[in-house]
A and B are shown apart, each in its own frame.
Chain A
């Protein structure tokens, strides 16, 4: 089992969510987050003075899935969330030891 954390542009969220539904990936946890990548945020100018906005608003999706689905989900997110400009986000994949469905007590892949 794997956990996929995708940090994407907030305005791409609806498109990514719909695309994931189309490939059968329904479960996800979503958070509004702030962050920055290599470009160190953006610069804004007010009355002639520059201010660096370090942390930009992003949306974080957390998906736990079977090994077999991982590549499909990653490709779907990349295809849908990409604009080609700086700030499109990142995807992190990590192993998951176990999953417990609280309602039934099921464990492992059955609980996803």
Chain B
């Protein structure tokens, strides 16, 4: 552990990383998802990410960070909140979990993770969820699902104390959002037109590229210092993304004989998701394997499992974030190399117990996320309702919910 002395290099890197992760949500997720939807829903789709970021920003400084990263209480499920409403946080105090950077910087960095996690879920529900219900869902979900899971895995809670490894959010962000997305779409039901015909794949290229770019802040920033570990996480991240992209293209070739751009984007994102929990623990060789395998898993979930089970995850949040997040968490238990990071030793380096711990962490996070998301969703469904009127869904949400349209041409 570094000396508890402010390091301006670390602080500068973490401020930049925070801004990079912010870029992942708006415009990254907003553009990626916006391009994949119908043109009559493009503004509503982008708006879901935008409002999620704003609401989470307020929750995080008022009470979210305090509950997630406060001293452990309630058997490792939640932190004891000091400094509610941001009171008593000294501008010069140093973060207890990152003692070379200010608390304020650490709080801001963590805030961007909470925001992108809820924004990711929006991809599953686009085209049919009431905007008002989404607002309430964001407040409830960040408070009751994201905050406890962040505490359990990162904030000194149950899974943290068990030794679960999650470098930058494989379980907290990706598995969590993917499982929550699945629970929510089960409650919402299928769209009237379930075809996925992207109206503007060019937006999705820009969005995915911004996600890839921002992911360097997400993963390399999670080193919490500007040093060798950040560099290692950076190169592992890029390597896995590239391997995921290439792997998906190979699958495209094998299945249809033609590579697809959406397949390339999907593979890159799947690779980024899978490397997230492992980024600061694994070698580049392992990153290649993680990336190559993850596209097979996500492709199978989307092209084979989804049509058989019949759930309507519009933009495949479960298929990509849930399944690749699951694989990444397991892969961390396999490939964590002690010479990369002394905090992690996986099965292939002689510690089978780490794999068991990872499986337990995945199970706890998955079950908690699914059950509590279901409860929140049911509460909304039977009060104000989750779904828009059929007429609104058919005509598009942009004009009906916002009185705006994305295109005048």
Interface membership of B255, Cβ < 8 A = yes
The CA-CA distance from A45 to B196 in the complex, in Å, is: 10
Does B197 touch A at the CB level, under 8 Å? yes
Question: Is the pair A44, B197 in contact by a Cβ cutoff of 8 Å?
Answer: yes
| Contact B307–A49 (Cβ < 8 Å) | yes
What's the count of A-B pairs with C-beta under 8 Å? 36
Return the chain A residue nearest B319 by Cβ.
A47
List A25-53 residues whose CB lies under 8 Å from chain B: 44-49, 51, 53
Chain B residues with CB under 8 Å of A47's CB are: 196, 260, 262-263, 266, 299, 302-303, 316, 319
Chain A 36-76 against B: per-residue CB contact (8 Å), 1 yes, 0 no? 00000000111111010100000000000000000000000
Q: Is the CB of A48 within 8 A of B196?
A: no
Q: Which residue of B lies closest to A51 (CB)?
A: B195
Which residues on A sit within 8 Å (CB–CB) of B307?
49
Interchain CB contact under 8 A, A51 and B258: no
Contact, CB under 8 Å: A51 / B262: no
- Whether the Cβ atoms of B260 and A45 lie closer than 8 Å is yes
Q: Are A45 and B299 also in contact (CB < 8 A) when A51-B195, A51-B196, A51-B197 are?
A: no
- Kindly state whether residue B231 has any CB partner on chain A within 8 Å: no
A46-B299 in contact (CB<8A): no
Decide if A45 touches B316 in the complex (CB within 8 Å): no
Contacts of A44 in B (CB 8 A): 197
B163 surroundings in chain A (CB, below 8 A): none
Whether, in the assembled complex, B385 has its beta carbon less than 8 Å from a beta carbon of chain A, the answer is no
Q: How far is the CA of A51 from the CA of B194 in the complex (A)?
A: 11
**Nearest CB of chain A from residue B255's CB, rounded to whole Å:** 6
Q: For the complex, what is the distance from the CA of A48 to the CA of B301, rounded to whole Å?
A: 10
CA distance A53 to B196 in the complex (A): 12
CB distance from B68 to the nearest CB of A (A): 34
B87 interface contact, C-beta 8 A: no
* Binary A-proximity of B186-203 (CB < 8 A = 1, otherwise 0): 000000000111100000
Q: Is the CB of B302 within 8 A of A48?
A: yes
Min Cβ gap B344→A in Å is: 33
Residue on A nearest B198 in the bound complex, by CB:
A46
Chain B contacts with A in 204-263, Cβ cutoff 8 A: 251-252, 255-256, 258, 260, 262-263
Give residues of chain B (296-321) contacting chain A, Cβ–Cβ below 8 Å. 299, 302-304, 307, 316, 319
Q: B263-302: contact bitstring with A at CB < 8 Å (1 yes, 0 no)? A: 1001000000000000000000000000000000001001
A61–B404 alpha-carbon span in the complex (Å): 33
Can you list 16 pairs linking A and B with CB atoms under 8 Å apart? A45-B252, A46-B196, A46-B197, A46-B198, A46-B260, A47-B196, A47-B260, A47-B266, A47-B299, A47-B303, A48-B252, A48-B255, A48-B302, A48-B303, A49-B303, A53-B197
For the complex with contacts A47-B302, A49-B307, 14 further pairs of A-B residues with Cβ separation under 8 Å are: A45-B252, A45-B260, A46-B197, A46-B198, A46-B262, A47-B196, A47-B260, A47-B263, A47-B316, A48-B252, A48-B263, A48-B302, A48-B304, A51-B196
